[in-house]
């Protein structure tokens, strides 16, 4: 295992839609061709909440007014562990701007699984969508294939 990466992912919710990012603009993008929530890595000495607010602003142009963490997901593969803090954000303002990493689109929540995404995301999204109590799950991949999902 190389390292533990700490990240945030934010699902902005409006009128039964989530704002998702289709990663299609960077060369050699690990996430290329996938629809994901907005987010990214925590900077040194940055809290997950601070990172969520910053990443939403950087990637969407929207201002977050309040937020709460919905859960945690540990992703494991051959090269690293990632601890990802998951947010659903409903209190925001502003207008969506273009994103350097891909295309932003409001996706109906009922249709979310029709879009290409990581199998591990499908493990935690039902918990988020159904407002489960704070969740902690571990998602294990081998050669980019999902092999196990478990609570921790």
Place of tokens 């199998």: 119
**Tokens 């289709």 appear where?**
22
In the block, tokens 């209190």 appear at: 91
Residues of the chain with pLDDT under 70: 1-3, 25-32
In the chain, where are the structural domains located?
4-151
Model confidence pLDDT, tens digit, residues 23-63: 775 666 565 688 999 999 999 999 999 999 999 999 999 99
pTM exceeds 0.75: yes
Residues whose CB falls within 8 Å of the CB of residue 82, separated by 6 or more in sequence, listed in order: 4, 5, 6, 7, 74, 75
**Dihedral sign computed on CA atoms, order 64, 125, 26, 144:** positive
pLDDT at position 142: 92
pLDDT of 78 reads 86
pLDDT score, position 30: 61
Question: DSSP string covering 9-41, please?
Answer: EEEEEETTEEEEEEE-SSTT-TTTT-EE-EEEE
With tokens 């502003």, the residue in question is 94
Q: What is the pLDDT of residue 27?
A: 65
Predicted confidence at residue 4, as pLDDT, reads 83
For residues 48 and 103, give the distance between their C-alpha atoms in angstroms, rounded to a whole number. Answer: 24
- The pLDDT, as a whole number, for residue 115 is 96
| Superfamily of segment(s) 4-151 | Nucleoside Triphosphate Pyrophosphohydrolase (3.90.79.10)
Neighbouring C-beta atoms of residue 61, cutoff 10 Å: 14
Strand 38-41 to 17-23 pairing = unpaired
């Amino acid at each position: 295992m190389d390292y533990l990466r700490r990240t945030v992912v934010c699902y902005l919710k409006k009128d039964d839609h989530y704002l998702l990012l289709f990663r299609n603009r960077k060369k050699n993008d690990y996430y290329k061709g996938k629809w994901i929530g907005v987010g990214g890595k925590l900077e040194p000495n940055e809290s997950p909440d601070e990172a969520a607010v910053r990443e939403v602003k950087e990637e969407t142009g929207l201002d977050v007014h309040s937020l709460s963490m919905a859960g945690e997901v540990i992703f494991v593969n051959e090269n690293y562990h990632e601890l990802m803090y998951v947010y659903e954000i409903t209190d925001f303002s502003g207008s969506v701007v273009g994103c350097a990493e891909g295309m932003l689109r409001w996706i109906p929540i009922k249709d979310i699984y029709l879009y290409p995404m990581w199998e591990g995301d499908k493990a935690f999204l039902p918990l988020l969508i159904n407002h489960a109590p704070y969740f902690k799950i571990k998602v294990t991949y081998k050669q980019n294939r999902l092999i196990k999902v478990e609570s921790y």
